[in-house]
Each structure stands twice: as C-alpha cells, then as structure tokens.
C-alpha cells in the first residue's frame, strides 16, 4: 500500500513537471508553431546514460550545477535552447527541433539533433566519432515517453529511486532561469 502511494506521488509530480516543461517549450516555441500538438512533434532529446555508455564517456559529457547556466546559454547559441539534465548516470539535452519535418515546411529531419551534437563537440571538447555511438536521440512521442520513464525512475540504475524526479525538476528550473 505504501508503494502504491509513492507511485501515485511520483506520477503526479511527473505530470506536474511535464506540464511545466510543456509551458516552457510553448513560450520558446519557434515561429510557426501554433499549439502543443506541434510542439510534441518536434521535441527531442540527445543523451547518454548508464545503459548506453561507460562511465568514462559519461564523465566527459557531465556538467556541475555551477556550469549549467553557461552551458544552457551556449546550447541556445547553437539554435537549440532547452533543458539539460545531468546526473551521475546520464546527460540529456532536451530541445525543440524547429528544423524538423513538419507539414508545410521543407524536409530537414535531424537538424536539431545535429545542432545539439555540434554543441556537445564544442562545449565538451570531444570528438563526435568517439561518443556518437553512445548517444541516443528520441523525438516526438518517443522523447516524451523517455522523459516520463526517466522522471519516474523506470530508466534509473536503481529502479524506484526518488532522487531523479527532483533532478528533473531542478533541470527545468535552471533552464527557466537561463531563458
């Protein structure tokens, strides 16, 4: 019964964080994005975690809380403003792929992910050849699904740990400050 209450609490908190993220993304939506359904189509994440990369690679793409504001500013300079989630087991870079395929716009799938990867190369001084095989990219529904799995700790090294939800919330707060 106690686990059920914890699970319901995590679900409510995750829904709150998703609503806050949706509002932030809607405020920063690129020109031409009319509503949240379009935002859901173009939201994307590029990241790596404990399942996709060894510790030494994760360390190369990690940020401290003090480094986060400058990294968010730098990411925005690459045309991909967003949210950066860095924990001991993951580094994820969420943004809107305004250059993706949308009805009525030219085909350019993957442009947002490419911009995030260029940001990673420049910001962290890494070779894309060295880390690209460890990176995952999710867009649209897959990105939202992934974010919910992360926030609810279903994608954590220790299933059910409660720290991640606070880390997701803090990443959103820091990104809001930087905007």
Q: Among all residues, which ones are annotated catalytic?
A: 88
Q: What is the 3-state secondary structure (H, E, C) of the chain?
A: CHHHHHHHHHHHHHHHHHHHHHHHHHHCCCCCCCCHHHHHHHEEEEEEECCCCCHHHHHHCCCCCCCHHHHHHHHHHCCCCEEEEEECCEEEEEEECCCCCCCCCCCCCCHHHHHHHHHHHHHHCCCHHHHHHHCEEEECHHHHHHHHHHHCCCCCCCCCCCHHHHHHHHHHHHHHHHC
């Amino acid at each position: 019964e106690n686990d059920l209450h914890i699970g319901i609490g995590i679900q409510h908190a995750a829904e709150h964080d998703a609503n806050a993220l949706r509002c932030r993304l809607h405020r920063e939506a690129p020109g031409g994005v009319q509503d949240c359904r379009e935002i859901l189509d173009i939201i994307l994440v590029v990241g790596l975690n404990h399942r996709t990369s060894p510790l030494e690679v994760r360390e190369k793409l990690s940020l401290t809380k003090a480094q986060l504001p400058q990294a968010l500013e730098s990411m925005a300079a690459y045309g991909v403003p967003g949210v950066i989630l860095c924990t001991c087991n993951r580094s994820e870079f969420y943004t809107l792929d305004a250059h993706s395929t949308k009805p009525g716009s030219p085909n350019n799938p993957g442009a947002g992910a490419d911009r995030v990867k260029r940001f990673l190369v420049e910001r962290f001084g890494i070779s894309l050849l060295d880390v690209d095989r460890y990176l995952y990219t999710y867009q649209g529904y897959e990105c939202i699904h992934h974010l919910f799995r992360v926030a609810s700790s279903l994608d954590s090294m220790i299933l059910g740990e409660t720290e991640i939800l606070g880390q997701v919330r803090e990443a959103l707060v820091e990104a809001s400050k930087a905007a």
